[in-house]
Structure 1
Amino acid sequence: MYALVDATSFYASAEQVFDLSIRKKPVVVLSNNDGCIVAASPEAKILGIPKFEPYFKLKHVLEQHGVIIRSSNYELYADLSEKMMNTISQFSDQQYVYSIDEAFLKFDGYTSLINNWYNYGQLIRRTVWRTTKLPVGVGFGPTPTLAKAANHAAKKFSDATGVAVIEDEQTRKAILKRMPVSDVWGVGRRLSKKLTLMGINTALDLANQSPRHMRTQFSVVLERTIEELNGNKCLTWDEVKQRKKEIYSTRSFGERITQADALKAALITHCSIVTKKLRRQKSLAKRIIIFAHSSPFETGFFKKSFITSLPVASCDSMVFANAVNEVFAELYQPGVRYYKAGIGAFELEDDNFLQADMFNESNDKPELMSVLDEINKRYGVTAARLGSEVQNSDWAMKREFLSPRYTTRWTDIPLIYCE
């Protein structure tokens, strides 16, 4: 048996954890630079507040309904996520963290120990709420895809109770019949449109298709999805979440940048972010894209990008920073009001299977990068960094509605007064 546990409207729920005054009020969270709505609490969803709409378009509507606005507080979300995952891990000997707000559990040999999966799911929900004050949904199923479907039922169906279990044919068909094919795990928006044109409207319709035929029509991925919807396990943990084939770090500036030093510092900061992600998934990049541009809505739009091939695939922050230095003179244009910049890494290779080059020696310093990552993990993400990285927040993204970093910043720790 598998379980998928994920938080309900995680970003919005995280904002309500320490601020009791908004616990029952509609809350929305905005993206970088307070651009679009990326999360909405259940109370906000009832009002019909759409996600991924620009904030400025809905500002008056939000004010009219008294909706609480929050900027993305990534430090808080990451810390609460870690606490939630640690709590969830107590309920199974095998856990796979799939994203910041959801994790799979696998139960081998638990059948004789757990008499009622529904009650066990409610126990998980109560425990997570007691330790983190985050509401979660729990779905159980014999395959990861069915566990995901059960989780959907636990949270989205009109009679949802926070827990759903698929453990027999009757419940499997009942849940899949009520589930739109677009909500099936692994079926994207484009694919769901094609399936709908074929008369496949629900998850049960998809499950009833011939896996082999759908493989010839689409892909082996859809074939496996169909098998899993029918209770035949096809996915392993490694296949549930694969390594990224490309890694980017980009950001719009809170204020326009015109100075060369500020732009270079921002680009090198992106180098550190990208290389940290590469090291985390044990990958090396063969090619780098470096770009910067002004706003397309301003006169005299300027955009410049360079693709740099590395002699030896790398995940070293200093190697990436040197690549920026080599092209920066051509990238920077005096007088341009830079709006956005970023770094991308592609042509990724597994660091365990790197083909050595007879004529080029790697400049990576893995021991130094390991120490850098360990320091930042222990003392904060900017405790140690390259000297050429950003040392001030002039270019930082705009977050006018940022809540306190309650658990990661000493000045923001909540105070309790006893009388």
Structure 2
Amino acid sequence: MNNDGCICAVCPIARRLGVPKFEPYFKIKSFLQKHGVVVRSSNYELYADLSEKMMNIIGRFADNQHIYSIDESFLHFDNYSKIITDWHQYGHDIRRAIWKETRLPVGVGFGPTATLAKAANHAAKKLPGFKGVALIDSQESSESILKQMSVGDVWGVGRRISKRLEQQGINSAFELSKVPIKIIRKEFSVVMERTVSELNGQKCLNWDEIKEPKKEIFSTRSFGQRVGDYHALKAALVQHGSIVSKKARNQSSTIKKLLIFASSSPHDDYYYKRSLIYQFPVATDNSCDIAQAIDHVLDEIFEPGVQFYRCGVGAIELSSRLFQQDDLFLPDNSNPALMKCLDKINNRWGQGTLKIGSEGKTEKWQMRREFLSPRYTSSWNDIPRIICS
């Protein structure tokens, strides 16, 4: 659950029981208790640590790796055909190594294009008979998998597009692959045209496009309890700003424009929302610059008497640090060495070990996580203790 308010993820067993996603927890609390469903709060620290361990293991199996999301990674096997003779076995080797070292079950899919590799990964996890590993290496294997996939399961096909396709009688991934490119281009977009071409084995997404950095980065969350204090709101916004700047540094981006907002609950009698855009004279990824920007606009956002329910910070215009053009009259104060030191300490000793002073020490405004599972791999206090006598 996110903020102990809404069900955001459901395991297969709970799904078969009928537990819906995105349902307010209080509405189905008695149902969950009646059936003995285990409820857990979002444990971001544990997820991030396990993800990092898993990605490091996956990276050992290829020279070129792209971490696509917290639980998904692409490997590019260039000139590996001479080394690997059994791709199924290689996939099982990857799964076995991850399970042995992290106890995380994964699916492995191989394909000649990124979209077909995603289709193979879907088959490895969701379709019967594959046992965690699927390979698309021929027309026959491609058709077999695509015929068993609904069109909505194709990478890049969202809900709206899948509904439009289904209304035209296109229900499976295989049927989508057979639609003429001219029709796809005319009725949909260039992106969908690329998807269909990739389903037919034509590489349209090169490695750089798959690894394209995010164009916007946001950190936003509702509070565990309402916030009506100026300094508490500032601390929350500065922490969101620190998260955004760290994500920007991770993809070698600098921030040109920053969106800062806070609001009460839309269910309140008086709904208050205020957002402002701060433009930096020189693009930056420095957490201190972000904190100063928040301090600069906070007086215009804060409203006395308002019980704030949600706030957030977003980098809405990013540029690459590798190709940044400096201003002749304004110095670059981003101080990459300082930020590298900050990230290194926090990565080594845990997020929040070192932070901006205006983030404050008290975190009563933090999200509610009453059902938090232990952070076995990232917190000293949560490491299991064994007493031998």
**TM-score when scaled to structure 2?**
0.94
- Counterpart position of 2:28: 58
Select the residue among 45, 60, 78 that pairs with 1:108: 78
Deviation at 1:398, TM superposition (A): 0.2
Alignment correspondent of 1:8: none
How far is 1:418 from its partner? Answer: 4.5
- For the residues of structure 2 that align with 1:250 and 1:40, how far apart are their CA atoms? 22
Amino acid at match of 1:315: D
Deviation at 1:343, TM superposition (A): 1.2
Distance (whole Å) between structure 2 residues aligned to residue 322 and residue 273 of structure 1? 15
2:41 corresponds to: 71
1:180 equivalent among 128, 150, 153 = 150
2:55 to 81, 85, 88: 85
Are 2:66 and 2:211, in contact at CA under 8 Å, matched by a contact in 1? Answer: no
Q: Residue 129 in 1 paired to residue 106 in 2? A: no
Sort the Cα spacing of 1:370 and 1:126 in 2 relative to 1 into closer, same or farther, 3 A.
Answer: closer
Residue aligning to 1:311: 281
Matched residues in 1 for 2:18 and 2:182: separation?
Answer: 41
Q: 2:258 matched to which residue of 1? A: 288
Once the 2 structures are TM-superposed, how far is the Cα of residue 395 of structure 1 from its aligned partner? Answer: 1.0
1:210 Cα offset (Å): 2.4
Amino acid at match of 2:230: A
Q: Structure 1 unaligned runs (5+)?
A: 1-29
In 2: Cα distance, 1:228 partner to 1:171 partner: 15
Residue 189 (str. 1) matches residue 190 (str. 2): no
> Amino acid of the residue matched to residue 407 of structure 1?
T
Deviation at 1:335, TM superposition (A): 1.7
Given candidates 253, 260, 270, the residue that maps to 2:240 is 270
Letter of the 1:393 partner, please give it.
Answer: E
Aligned with 1:34: secondary structure?
A: coil
Q: Distance in 2 between matches of 1:225 and 1:244?
A: 20
Residue range with higher mean Cα deviation, 233-242 or 111-120: 111-120
- SS of corresponding position for 1:39: coil
Match of 2:133 in 1: 163
Structure 1 residues 114 and 359 mapped into 2: Cα distance closer, same or farther (>3 Å)? closer
Matched, 1:153 2:123: yes
Tell me the secondary structure at the aligned position of residue 71 of structure 1.
Answer: coil
Quote the offset at 1:242 in angstroms: 2.1
What residue identity is the alignment partner of 2:310? K
Alpha-carbon offset, residue 66 of structure 1:
0.9
User: What is the deviation of 1:152?
Assistant: 0.8
Q: Which of residues 322, 327, 330 is equivalent to 1:352? A: 322
Percent of counterpart pairs with the same letter?
A: 56
Q: Aligned AA for 1:75?
A: E
Q: Which moved more, 1:403-412 or 1:282-291?
A: 282-291
Mapped partners of 2:326, 2:96: distance in 1: 52
3-state DSSP class of the match of 1:381?
A: coil
Q: Which has the higher strand share?
A: 1
Cα offset for 1:237? Answer: 2.3
- Does residue 336 (structure 1) correspond to residue 306 (structure 2)? The answer is yes
Asked if the contact 1:269–1:390 (Cα under 8 Å) also holds between the matched residues in 2, the reply is no
In structure 2, what is the equivalent of residue 228 of structure 1? 198
Q: Measure how far apart 1:217 and its partner are.
A: 3.0
User: SS where residue 62 of structure 1 aligns?
Assistant: helix
Partner of residue 12, structure 2: 42
Q: Say whether 1:373 aligns with 2:343.
A: yes
Give 2:189's aligned residue.
Answer: 219
Q: 1:61 to 1:156 in 2, by over 3 A?
A: same
- Which residue of structure 2 aligns with residue 412 of structure 1? 382
Q: Give the aligned partner of residue 9 of structure 1.
A: none
- Other-structure match for 1:27: none
SS at match of 2:107: strand
| Whole-angstrom CA distance in 1 between matches of 2:22 and 2:129 | 27
Aligned AA (1:266): A
* Cα separation, 2, equivalents of 1:246 and 1:335: 32
Residues 167-200 of structure 1: CA distance to partner in whole angstroms, max 9, x if unpaired? Answer: 1111111111111111101111111122222322
Distance 1:106 1:313 in 2: 33
For 1:307 and 1:281, the matched residues in 2 are separated by 22
Question: 2:148–2:172: 8 Å Cα contact kept in structure 1?
Answer: yes
For 1:181 and 1:318, the matched residues in 2 are separated by: 46
Q: SS where residue 297 of structure 1 aligns?
A: coil
Query: Deviation at 1:87?
Result: 2.0
Letter in 2 for 1:127: A
Once residues 275 and 141 of structure 1 are traced to their aligned partners in structure 2, the CA distance between those partners, rounded to angstroms, is 35
Worse-superposed segment, 211-220 or 365-374:
211-220
In the alignment, the residues of structure 1 paired with residue 386 and residue 132 of structure 2 have an alpha-carbon distance, to the nearest angstrom, of 32
Q: How far off is 1:374 after superposition?
A: 1.9
Write the distance in 2 (CA, Å) between the matches of 1:347 and 1:62: 43
Which AA in structure 2 matches 1:261?
H
Q: Using a 3 Å threshold, how does the CA distance of structure 1 residues 354 and 114 change in structure 2: closer, same or farther?
A: closer
Give 1:358 shift: 4.1
SS in 2 for 1:69: coil
CA deviations on 1:317-375 (whole Å, 9 max, x unpaired) are 22222222222222222221111111111122222222333454444222222222222
Shift of 1:69: 0.5
- The verdict on how the C-alpha distance between 1:87 and 1:262 changes in structure 2, with shifts beyond 3 A counting, is same
